[in-house]
Structure formats: C-alpha cells, structure tokens
Amino acid sequence: MNETEYRRVIDELQAVLDATRATMARFEATGMDEQMSKDYAKLEVLATQVVKEQRRYVLQMLDISESPNPILPESP
C-alpha cells in the first residue's frame, strides 16, 4: 500500500469510529446503555477494535514513509 491508500483506510476507520461513538452517545442519552447493556458493550468493543486497527495502519504508514524510497538514490 502507498501513503494515499493508508490515509484512505485511516479516514474510513475514523468514519466508523465517529458513527459508533455517535450511536453510543444516543444510547447514553436515552438510557439504552443500561436497558441494552449487551448491545452497548458490543459498541464499546467495536470502538476499541477500530482504534486498534487505525493505530496499526498509522504505524504501517509511518514505517513506509521512513523507509528509503527505492526509486530515488540514497544521499551519501
């Protein structure tokens, strides 16, 4: 993957995280976090997993950005 592709995936994961957090806020505002605690817990797990995946992609993107570009000659 190149940097642009990593950024696209990271942005898509952010959209999922934002939607999940918005759903969690609606649950909390209506008391559904207590009435549907198992579903709310699933939302928490999803948010945590998305953050982990987003972090993984950011680290991979940083790794490729720090590696020498094979097309350009290395400086002496």
Domain membership flag for residue 8 = yes
Identify the domain containing residue 28 by its residue range.
Answer: 3-66
Q: What percent of the chain has pLDDT over 70?
A: 87
pTM over 0.85: no
Domain membership flag for residue 76 = no
Task: Please tell me the total count of domains within the chain.
Answer: 1
pLDDT at 46 over 80: yes
Domain membership flag for residue 15 = yes
CA distances (Å), origin 16, targets 13, 21, 51, 55: 5, 9, 10, 14
Average pLDDT estimate for 32-57: 97
Residue 55 has a pLDDT of 97
Domain membership flag for residue 39 = yes
pLDDT tens, residue by residue, 28-40: 999 999 999 999 9
